[in-house]
């Protein structure tokens, strides 16, 4: 057994502190960051962004595939702490950034409102749920599941409103500005890195809730 596999499988270690996992995450972040800074994801108004959704899907597809075929990854996922997984979603309050950008005239209202407010609500819900989960209150599983459902729904709404307000190719919503800024550094890091990470955490939490 390799040392990397040992790091993942140690029963008493924190699975999120695995050197192998940290290395993979840092490598992926470095790749996405480098491409973003160099304008790789930048799509002009009216042009359907291709690179951004591809990089959004890559980590999700790879993770789900490994979770389906690798017992090592399954064992690693089973050792996750549901309280920690739920608490990570409190970071979603950073979606308030979208509201601020709308107020500055940088994002369309339809995207900023639904994506921004949705993120903040998920973050607040996660904060309350984390307390219930940590204390194993009577309805803690329902609270944890609610965070998962709200979080995934929020991302779905963000994608729909983002496309609907991207000037040009869909033309569903015509506002004073488009969501083009979401394809430009630094905001493009949200759909290409942070959102896939949060979705993976949701998947891990959804698996862990009935086992906890």
- pLDDT at site 65: 98
Terminal Cα distance for the chain, rounded = 28
Percent of the chain at pLDDT exceeding 70: 88
Q: Give the pLDDT band (50/70/90) at residue 6.
A: very low
Query: CB burial class (10 A; 0-12, 13-18, 19+) of residue 83?
Result: buried
Q: Which residues of 111-145 are buried (b: 16+ CB within 10 A; e: fewer)?
A: bbebbbbbbbbbbebbbebbebbeeeeeebbebbb
CA angle 23, 130, 119 (to 5 degrees): 75
Residue 136 vs residue 169, higher pLDDT = 136
The pLDDT of residue 8 is above 80: no
- Where are the chain's structural domains? 17-211
- pLDDT at site 1: 44
CA–CA separation, 206 and 212 (whole Å): 11
Residue 127 tokens read as 């904060």
- As a whole number, mean pLDDT of residues 52-69 equals 96
Residue 159 vs residue 179, higher pLDDT = 159
> What is the H or E stretch that residue 161 is in?
helix 140-164
Q: Give the pLDDT band (50/70/90) at residue 12.
A: low
The answer to which of 23-27, 72-76, 141-145, 166-170 has the lowest mean pLDDT is: 166-170
Residue 133 tokens read as 């989960």
- pLDDT at site 4: 45
Residue 87 tokens read as 């608490």
Quickly tell me which residue has 């630094």 as its tokens.
Answer: 186
């Amino acid at each position: 057994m390799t040392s990397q596999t040992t790091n993942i499988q140690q029963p008493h270690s924190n699975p999120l502190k695995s050197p192998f996992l940290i290395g993979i995450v840092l490598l992926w972040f470095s790749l996405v960051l480098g491409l973003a800074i160099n304008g790789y994801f930048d799509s002009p108004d009216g042009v359907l962004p291709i690179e951004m959704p591809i990089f959004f899907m890559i980590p999700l597809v790879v993770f789900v595939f490994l979770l389906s075929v690798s017992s090592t990854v399954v064992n690693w996922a089973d050792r996750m702490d549901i309280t920690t997984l739920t608490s990570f979603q409190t970071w979603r309050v950073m979606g308030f950034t979208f509201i601020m950008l709308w107020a500055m005239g940088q994002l369309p209202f339809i995207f900023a409102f639904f994506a921004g407010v949705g993120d903040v609500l998920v973050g607040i819900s996660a904060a309350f749920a984390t307390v219930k989960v940590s204390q194993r209150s009577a309805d803690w599983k329902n609270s944890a599941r609610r965070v998962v459902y709200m979080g995934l729904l929020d991302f779905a709404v963000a994608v729909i409103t983002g496309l609907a307000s991207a000037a040009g190719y869909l033309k569903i919503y015509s506002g004073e500005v488009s969501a083009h800024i979401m394809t430009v550094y630094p905001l493009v890091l949200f759909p290409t890195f942070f959102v896939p990470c949060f979705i993976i955490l949701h998947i891990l939490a959804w698996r862990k809730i009935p086992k906890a």
